[in-house]
Amino acid sequence: MRTFVTRGLSLRAKLLLLALLPLLASLALIALAVRQQESSLAAREHALVRASYMDARRTELKHYVDLAVSTLKPLQGQPGGPQQALQLLSSLDYGTDGYFFVYSLDGRVLMHSRQPELIGRNLWELRDPLGRPTIQQLIAQAKAGGGYVEYLWRKPSSSLLAPKLGYVVMVPEWQWMLGTGLYLDGIEATMAELERGARQNITTTLLWVGAVAVLGVALISAGALALNLSEHRSAEAKLRALAREVVQSQEDERARLARELHDGVSQALVATKLLIESAQHEPAGAARLQDLALKRLNTTLAEVRHLSHALRPALLDTLGLPAALQHLAGEFDAAGGTRFTATVEGEETELPEAVKTALFRIAQEALNNAARHAAATQVGLTLRFDGGGGLALEVADDGGGFDAEAAQAVADRGLGLRSMRERADALGARLSLVTAPGVGCRLAVKLSAADLARAAA
């Protein structure tokens, strides 16, 4: 069973809401999730690489200093041992920026293989650009049992200040502070490169998501365009068929009226004219002829009223829509075969002319379709006035039903249903049709109080 509702969003709006917006929202959420996940992954990778690098460098520095201390032990207690030890340490290095240094505990430089101009100078008061006492920190860490110190020092290969990680120990026999260090600008460059790579990966992923979004929008737009063109062609075909049907209906109605006027009214008027002329020429039988002429005139008036009612029932203007619908159902019921009933529910209110005419024509078309095609035993028409100022018209039958979707898909079929829908749309009403083969049919037209107010404006 299918339900068709004529009022709602347009096809383009439905496509936008049901396809485009969910797609874009999903892609945006995916892009946001990917960005957050990749940023989080890059941050964890950055921290892990830095921690691993620093652990490896700390272990390396400690091994260098332990090796240097073990090298000096044979010289301890020997005459000239301190001078030999300084000479030996100055010859030990591990690269351009890898060297040992020795300070006395009062801050005087005893050995510095990369900066020999500092030998003999007291650097106790030396401070870095941040105001930290560099040598004092190193000596304090050595006195505390040895350990790691981060500070700023001029890098031999670049002659620029760079962050440095130093490891220092005490040499108690000679009251020295012995240490070495590694510059950290290399790890900072590595971290920066990793961060650039992570940003590039995020950008690439977002570009791919954007490309998918553009492709999806393009495909949906192409599909919408194709569907629009198809619907447009179908609508044009239906409109042409409807126009032909309207023109044919007008011609049929004119032909019917012409036949009725010619065969009924015209002939009755001619007969009346002849009776009046006969009465003028036969005074003896004038009374009888005048009676016959009067009867013919009454018959003619009845036929004229019938034709007028078929065009627009007088009851619709005099007694209102409920009486006109009950009279309409009575005419169909009088034809026999199918039982037609009309019911009015709720307190009747005055309706705009446009509403009365449209609902009457919709009911007329629905009853006509039920009489011609439904093969029903009962057809019920209900006009319902609700307490909120709204209005509903329902026509239901127990007939065989039909496939409304298939009927509307063919241009030259379903013209009556399209005509009813167009009348309902003109009022801003909601027309629904519930039907399927074998289960009968129920058509409903509903107008809210606001719809009625707009129709009356």
Handedness of CA 110, 116, 121, 124 (dihedral sign): negative
| Cα–Cα distance, 346 to 341 (Å, whole number) | 17
Which residues lie across from 181 on neighbouring strands? 166
Higher confidence at residue 287 or residue 356?
A: 356
Which among 173, 43, 151 is positioned nearest to 105, based on CA atoms? 173
b/e sequence 245-264, b meaning 16+ C-beta within 10 Å: beeeeeeeeeeeeeebeeeb
Report pLDDT for 4. Answer: 42
């039982």: which residue's tokens? Answer: 339
| Rounded mean pLDDT, 385-406 | 83
239 Cα distance to chain centroid: 32
pLDDT over 90 at 149, yes or no: yes
- Lookup: tokens for 407: 């009927």
Amino acid making up residue 169? V
Residues 6+ apart with CB under 8 A from 288: none
**By the 8 A CB rule, do 128 and 166 touch?**
no
Amino acid making up residue 34? V
Question: Strands, E, within 18-174: which ranges?
Answer: 100-104, 109-112, 147-155, 160-171
Exposed / middle / buried, residue 7 (Cβ in 10 Å: 0-12, 13-18, 19+): middle
Tens digits of per-residue pLDDT, 3-17?
444 444 555 566 566
* HSE-up (13 A, CA, CB side) for residue 310: 11
Higher confidence at residue 293 or residue 262?
A: 293
Higher confidence at residue 431 or residue 188?
A: 431
Query: What's the alpha-carbon Rg for the chain, to the nearest Å?
Result: 52
Instruction: Give the SS3 label for residue 455.
Output: helix
Instruction: Give the SS3 label for residue 436.
Output: coil
pTM: 0.42
Higher confidence at residue 86 or residue 254?
A: 86
Residues 359, 361, 367, 368: what is their CA dihedral angle, to the nearest 10 degrees? -170
- Lookup: tokens for 379: 């057809």
Report pLDDT for 100. Answer: 92
| Rounded mean pLDDT, 152-166 | 89
Higher confidence at residue 312 or residue 6?
A: 312
